Chain A
Amino acid sequence: MKITFVLLIAGVLQSFAVSSYSQSARISLYLKNVTIEEVLNQIESKSDFYFFFNQKLIDVNRRVDVEADNLPIADILNNLFRDSNIEYVVYDRQIILAPKEAAGEIKNSQQHKVTGLVRDASNSEPLIGVNIQIDGTLQGTTTDMNGNYSIVVPGPAAVLTFSFVGFITQKIEVGDRVTIDVNLEPDVKSLDEVVVIGYGVQKKKDLTGSVGIVNVEEMKKVKVSGVGEALQGQVAGVSVQTNGDPGRMADVRIRGVGSFSNVGPLYVIDGLILNDANHLNPSDIESIQILKDASATALYGSQNANEVIIITTMKGQEGPMKIDFSGNFGLQEIGRTIDMMNTEQFLYYNQLSYTNAGREWPGRPEPGEVIPNTDWQKAIFEMGRISDLNLSASGGSANTKYMLGAGYYSQDGVLEGPWYKRYTFRINSEGKRGIITFGENISLIHTDQKLTNLWTSSFTNALSMPPVIPVYDPNEPSGRGGYGYGNGKYETYNTNPVALQQSINDRQAHNRLVGNLYAELEILKGLKYKANFGIDFWLGSRKQMDEAVTMRYASTQIKFNDKLWQNTEERMSLLMEHTLNYNRQFGEHTIEVLAGFTLQDNKFKYMANEGYNQKVDGKWQIDLVGEQFNMWGSEQENRLLSYLGRINYNFRDKYLVQFNIRRDGSSKFGEKNRWGNFPSASFGWRVSNEPFFEAIRGTMNDFKLRISYGVIGDMQALGNYDYIPSVDFSGPYQGLYSFFGIDQIANEGAILTQRANPYLKWETKTTLNVGFDYAFLQNRISGSFEWFNSVSSDLLVRLPISLATGVGIDDVNYYAGSSLWTNYGEMENKGIEFSIAWRDKKGEVNYSIGANLTSLQNKVLKLGTSEGYREGDYGQVNRTQEGRSVSDFYLIKMNGIFQNWDEVFAYTATLNDGTVALIQPDAHPGDVRYEDFNHDGKIDLAGDRQWVGSPIPKFEFGFNASADYKGFDFTMFWTGRYGNKIFNGQRQTLEAMDAPNNMPADLKPWTAENPSTTTPRPLFGPNDNVLFQSDRWLEDGSFLTLKNLQFGYNLSTALVTKMKFLSGFRIFISGQNLVTITKYKGYNPELTGNGVFEQGCDWGQYPPVRTYMVGFQMTL
């Protein structure tokens, strides 16, 4: 499980065990009749040694013959002084010659004290505060302001450990030496860390674009189901909303909404360009980079304005085969349940709601009647289980490396019914001979799942279903299923959530092959040609078996037919890339040039069938449907041809320049505007390498300024053939056929039903990014800051066109279809991102803490509707208006509760014509008072909605801390949001107070005796209290959540090695979503699945759930 990085460090380690030098350093000498002094001079010139001696005590004029053919220096010296009273003592590279009686003294007096200077190997600067410890003891010291140290050691066998944050720890055996100078190598992970950028790698320190690097080592400690979840809170600018739905990915959004179409970021996995990373087993991940600005994303940037996530998977390392096996097991629970009224409480308010409406209460229990008291949350929620097993083998020789991995993951979630299983298999290998490298990364996945039925939210129904209805109703008259549902006595519009999840068996399975094959040829030194071929083949099927049971859907419908719906889907994406890369250093100039072209082809096929009434009970096959109902099928294809180029120039590691250009042609556009050019440039200035910086380099170790500017494109919103005016053979819902003849038979029809815009072109996003990276206090503190401003323009929107042009095709929603894709929209996103990390070591405790913060402002500049605004899809809750941020809440404001008739009658408005109007003439004490925003004397949606907040947080943050001590490790990770609003649609149902829904137990509806200022009176039937989408259900969505807490223990090396075959063993226990601090009243303030125009609405989506896990990782 150890993360390895590709090391590009050249050169040899500077320090090695000197004590062995005198024994191992060999020289040849052929000298006749020379003085000892001459011999010593020769040795000095042929080795690193130099001699010290007192000429008064040592006779160096004695003449000798020396004949040494590649002999150790020690042997030469022994021979030289064999018959004299001179003894020699080696200290480091110094050889001290002394009379025999004096030499012993030197040894004895010096053996216990060692002094030296510790330097940074990369720049020879002294290091302050380096920890020096004698192994096996508690004795230690640190270097002083000049990097010097002094320590008394017990004897030559003592081993000193030099450790310093940001540097590789060294152990040195003291031996004979009294002076030990050490050059510590900087830890490449932090400085020479290499990151994967588009079509290549770059040293992290040379980056000029905005690239967020995920700490994969930390990430992988957290057991997650998918990549999206893993990214949460890790990198500034990345907003992730998770959910507990088995098999469902988290919503990932980078730097806000980049276009009006709801698509996530682009994933580049081992060079393969994909729209999702759902197939990826998180255990296989080696590194994740998030490309955030135009310069960083430039080489992929024509495919997604929602930024790019680059992932590489694990590769084999040189060495014997390493086998990793891990097993993780977890339990999941909803985490929070909402205390709802029991039957007694419910009946009280149910009766009151009828009484208040002046109606007879149908719910009055008969004498002796036993009314159920169902806890619906108990009925639907279960303890979910997770199993996650991974096995991998990797290794290789200098020229061949391989990695094989297999994984199994299963999860059944907290909702009874659904489950998900994933089987993954991976082979990554690479072979090299001379100038040729071949390799491949292939992954196979099979998933099988029973989908959570989202037809109506079971999370809402688990709350709103009245307790008086039984889960199972043995007396249910039709006998089909026997699930409880509402009746005349206790009317409800809720759907029995248990029935829903159980009676609809919605199975989905897919098989997917994702892989690439590449060949690289090093034509000349520094010039490489690479060909890369990728494939993403996806075969999916879905089968919805919908049993006829008596289950009331949200309206009044009761299912009387069983229904089978089955589809198959096939996707095939092919990628071919050819790139030439030239990388060369000329003195102080380093240059990298990349040129290439790529071809992409994506195909999609779909077929579905639907039928009713299976002929054989319990058998679900299209062959057996009693009534064929419908079938569909279509094929899609799109292609992309791109040329790309990049120049990287680096002068003295101080001035860094990068230019990118990408030219793309997409089959989604017509000939007129098919091609788009997307250039970008970025500059970096490593201020800390300037001479004037020297003065503070001791504290401020690294400082780099970056600026980038560029344009990227997008066309995701567009269908594959939207620019082609095409003939429609199916037409609107009712079809294009007409009936003629004596027998009045159908005659098929076909015609152009829609218009097309042949001038469609690329959406563009122009981003200016300014940032700096910093490190100080010996790299203990490091981090970066970014400011960015991006403007997305020519956004593809469907501009409505007049029905009088003949294009209205949909008879149900008559304006659907009567619109024309047009490059019209414009949006701005700007923000700041800040990250900071602290790493240090105290004694044997290594610890680090890190935090990141993102603040984003969004503004819609041009929207493309005739009204200048657009409502969200969920009724009149959100509204997107030019000049405001996307999807702001636009609601009627609640202004308290009428406490008495006086207040009702006092609530008036004076109209323009002088008349005084009662604003809520139908109101009654206990009803909600709404703000008459436009002062027209009445409350209506048309005039009284107002801006009440945004679903976009003012800032988001992540905080993590980790520490290890001996074999123990600890990780903790928090994430949060501040300043966003959530429309709690669940509460809108629960607190409708109109009788058919259950209510939270702590709700105290208004009564004359116990007046409330927040909750109106219960009132049967539709009434003003629930009529309006008001801010009564708008809540503060800020939260802070403990995403992960983990304790692990690594069996000590000594213990492990005793077990021969084992080289590492770790066990851990962890918890996810353990604590959520929020004022939000719903299940969880993290919401997935909302579209661009209806963000921040809680309609009972699957919330993130609490997970407890234990696991082990062993390495053989």
Chain B
Amino acid sequence: MDLTVGDYLDYLKVDAEVAVFAVYVEGFAPRDGVKFLKAAEEISARGKTVCSTAPAARPRAQRRLQATLLLSQETIGSRAR
């Protein structure tokens, strides 16, 4: 299985029937965070919402997600919360 969460969001971002993207993320494949955030940025620019999480029960995964988001945020200049 080579597909990543970034691939899925990038594919779904143009679906006119989807207004809210709820994305359960445990972690990113190498460099996938950038792809994920680029897709999220395009979705947000259309006035749609991406809601993402990492499970609190896995703090290590959550820290990795937050670190990836911060790194990606600096990389592509996106505003991520």
A and B associate: no
